[in-house]
Chain A
């Protein structure tokens, strides 16, 4: 654990984000260096005539965007060098029709052949029938396949999991996603800033505050707009309440998937109390549509501040006993310890964010390492460990609950007076901005290109799940199918955030 120290703020936090146009050779070199670990791939997306790659240098921590103009609708594959890019490239092919030369996997990803059109962000011409999805071939003695989804047994999102098992042991899991694809990128095109905020807040409902904040950051950076200090603190209070609610829900739900319902019941009570407090303080249980470019829409009065303070006191009083229950129940630990282990090397190569990365040695948190206000003024620890199993991901969440409580208390104690919103002024020219916010699940990236009139030319929203879903396939290998719900919930990737 590192004590947070105020790092040097990066330029993209306060001004439009420049892009470096590179040659095909430089592009390929960047891909090789990403595979070698010199860069972390933060995202890969396309516009009409170029592809773009957001990278963070491992050494300096600086974030850059590289752009490569397309030649005949083609570009050299990054995924050929760096597997973390493969699904993003498949998504680019589905949405834009741009082709990644040398890509090791050219199967459609988000496009299931149901839209009626192909390349909705590109030619948008009537699409051909797609052949049935070709799952990867498996060969071997005594193998059988289990197909699960898209409609699952529980109250969860839709996706398809194809297990190949030998006896009870999973030898391969292949995910098939895209079922919740809603066409957010296309809806964003030409939208106003306000409409964009509405959509961004509905990419992944559990992270609505984080998404709205990342989107607002991108807009504010593009327009070089300042946010009143009180608005920044209120954003942090909402973001930490969101983190609390999700982590509390997850801790209980993971244990429930190990058939230990008491943890779910206890944590479910705390989660509900957080949501009710959010509703009373900000007027919405998930605080949806409360963060907007320029600030926030709801202020806290003395009564609401008292409610949130009371909530933190109550959670501090009740949470330790629940953690004791987890830590002292041997039958439960027998299910979580040593199950679904993610190797630190994989977490690093995929730049896995959130509890997935931090439980496997990737000690990274946007709030600390790419600091944004008000976190640069607050004190907190980023928990990290290296064992990488279900138990480790539970403990990361437990420690983060404690940190979020401390952060909320600090924000309440220091809450500045003054306005909560200042309408960003239009730039009168085309601008681009980058936003990066730590959701409960990991880093949410938003890249926003605005036209001179302030409407959206292109908005790319990258959920942390993009770099976590592929790792889930790796951790289940060698585990039994019955432990999949446990592994899956300990990751808790977003389907909707990934499918867009």
Chain B
């Protein structure tokens, strides 16, 4: 373990060296500044899987890896909707999850924002029309922003969060 700790001290962090695309860095910085301006130092996100295929979850998880390191900007995932500013909702909202999503929304304090993630979250995606799906997040709770993709890449998710912060100024 000592070797890993030593490497961590001596080497440049991956977070700076790795983003091959300078846009990611710029986006992440802009997200952080906007979040601080509108919501103080941090923005708490509660992720809700409303019936996704788990692809979106994998990319949302990736936001926490050393390359994207979302938390350095004060954006972090919380374990309860009661601690959240933003609900990040994936999936076509299956009928079996609709009530759980409604209750999660109700448990989130105002002001709050809902982001529908993925093509499924947008309009049900390839599951639209199924007897078991409601047809997207907006069919169940009000949606402030859609981040499409199947699944959206971590970079697209960052872009989306930035757009949300720009649009959310009036509401906060």
Contact = CB atoms under 8 A, between A and B. Distances in A.
A328 interface: yes
A37 interface: no
B79 interface: yes
A309 interface: no
Interface stretch (A113-121, A231-239, A412-420): A113-121
A182 B79 contact: no
Nearest to B101: A151
Contact of A180 (B1, B52, B79, B104): B52
Contact of B132 (A153, A158, A181, A496): A181
Chain A interface mostly:
loop
B153 interface: yes
Contacts of B98: 114
Nearest to B59: A285
Given A198-B126, A268-B65, A321-B3, A155 B94 contact: no
A372 to B, nearest CB: 24
Contacts of A186: 130-132
B133 interface: yes
Interface string B58-83: 11111011110000000001011100
A478 interface: no
B92 interface: yes
Interface string A102-135: 0000000000101111001000100000000000
Interface string B81-112: 10000000001101111111000100000000
Nearest to A114: B95
A217 B14 CA distance: 40
A151 B130 CA distance: 22
Interface string B37-61: 0000000000111111111111111
Given A198-B126, A496-B52, A266 B4 contact: yes
A275 interface: yes
Interface string A339-383: 000000000000000000000000000000000000000000000
Interface in B116-172: 125-127, 129-133, 150-151, 153
Contacts of B61: 155, 249
A150 interface: yes
Contacts of B132: 115, 120, 181-183, 186
Nearest to B132: A183
Q: Bin chain B's interface residue count.
A: 35 or more
A198 B126 CA distance: 8
A495 B95 contact: no
B8 to A, nearest CB: 9
B160 to A, nearest CB: 16
Given A158-B97, A179-B96, A496 B54 contact: yes
Interface string A251-279: 00000000000100110110110010001
Given A151-B100, A157-B49, A328 B153 contact: no
Contact of A288 (B55, B99, B131): B55
Contacts of B151: 205, 286
Contact of B47 (A155, A208, A286, A329): A155
B65 A203 contact: no
Nearest to B20: A276
B55 A202 contact: yes
Top 9 A-B residue pairs of the complex, sorted by shortest distance between their CB atoms: A205-B55, A183-B132, A153-B79, A183-B130, A268-B65, A205-B53, A114-B95, A180-B51, A205-B54
Given A180-B91, A268-B66, 13 more contacts: A124-B131, A151-B48, A155-B57, A158-B51, A179-B97, A183-B132, A202-B125, A205-B56, A269-B67, A271-B65, A272-B66, A275-B62, A499-B51
29 contacts: A114-B99, A115-B131, A115-B132, A116-B131, A124-B131, A150-B97, A155-B47, A157-B49, A158-B49, A158-B50, A179-B100, A181-B51, A183-B130, A183-B132, A186-B132, A187-B127, A187-B129, A199-B126, A202-B53, A202-B126, A203-B53, A204-B54, A205-B55, A208-B53, A268-B62, A285-B153, A288-B55, A325-B4, A329-B1
